[in-house]
Structure 1
Amino acid sequence: MSSRLALSPTMRNLIRCAGVSGTLAICLGVYGAHIMKDNTSDELRRLFQLAQTYHILHSAALLAVPLVSRPKVTGLLFLGGMSLFCGPIYYHAIRDDPRFRRITPYGGFLLLAGWLSIAAL
């Protein structure tokens, strides 16, 4: 008897994305804690921490996506939202370059839509 859950390939891929995303969030957190500490302004470190918090939270949320009524939609909304929200903030904090920050509201909207897709049974 197999100990694996009976999940579709798409659901297994979403769980894999959660694992990769969580690993990346932890690695970026280590980078932020050790590399950015002395040579980065408090504001850029705060921005980095914001991105890292949203990144790890939504990586964990991806693990529950196979349980929702529209897992593909919710998963894509979360993945897109993390990319468009966290990515530009990470970039701004690491490079001290805000040019992509205008994209973050779209990422935030996708994250909100992901959570609402869970509520829309």
Structure 2
Amino acid sequence: MSDLYFTIGCCSMCSTLLFSTYGYHGGLAYDQQLKWDIAVKFQQFGSIPLLLAYKKKTPYPGGLAIAGTVLFCLPLYYSVLSEDTKFNKLMPYGGFAMMASWIALGFLS
């Protein structure tokens, strides 16, 4: 499982470069660019625990980082592209999952 977390973390970090490029060159309005940039940065913050979690004996940091990225970043990307905010209510849970991934990384090693 730890190798899988590392692979997912690398792919996630790579995708932030692609998403960032789209955010700046994709013709988004300024306010949409700001939201897109927040999603990219939080995806990067969620990728780092995955890159570090592969050395840990517990699956919690990696699992929480994946959950945080999915629940925070994907609704934000979706709302920017579609202007539909129905999934934004999931974002606080994603933020808490990201925070919990860092706590788990520090204490469950």
Same fold (TM over 0.5): yes
Question: Contact between 2:68 and 2:98, CA under 8 Å: does it hold in 1?
Answer: yes
Match of 2:100 among 113, 117, 120: 113
The runs of at least 4 consecutive aligned structure 1 residues that moved more than 4 Å come to none
Once the two structures are aligned, what percentage of the paired residues are identical? Answer: 25
65, 79, 82: which one aligns with 2:66: 79
> Which residue of the partner structure matches residue 28 of structure 1?
19
Q: Which runs of 5+ in 2 are unaligned?
A: none
Larger radius of gyration: 1
Q: Structure 1: how far apart are the matches of 2:47 and 2:26?
A: 23
TM-score, L = length of structure 1: 0.81
Question: 8 Å contact 1:44–1:96 — kept in the other structure?
Answer: no
How does the TM-score come out when normalised to structure 2?
0.89
Give the structure 1 partner of residue 5 of structure 2.
14
Alpha-carbon RMSD across the aligned residues, in angstroms, is 1.5
Once residues 91 and 98 of structure 2 are traced to their aligned partners in structure 1, the CA distance between those partners, rounded to angstroms, is: 11
Distance 2:103 2:71 in 1: 18
Deviation at 1:69, TM superposition (A): 5.0
Q: Is there any run of 5+ residues in structure 1 with no aligned partner, and where?
A: 1-9
The corresponding residue for 2:91 is 104
Aligned to 1:45: 33
For 1:60 and 1:75, the matched residues in 2 are separated by 9
* Corresponding position of 1:66: 54
Indicate if the aligned counterparts of 2:53 and 2:61 stay in contact, CA closer than 8 A.
yes
Paired residues, what number? 108
CA distance in 2, matches of 1:47, 1:25: 14
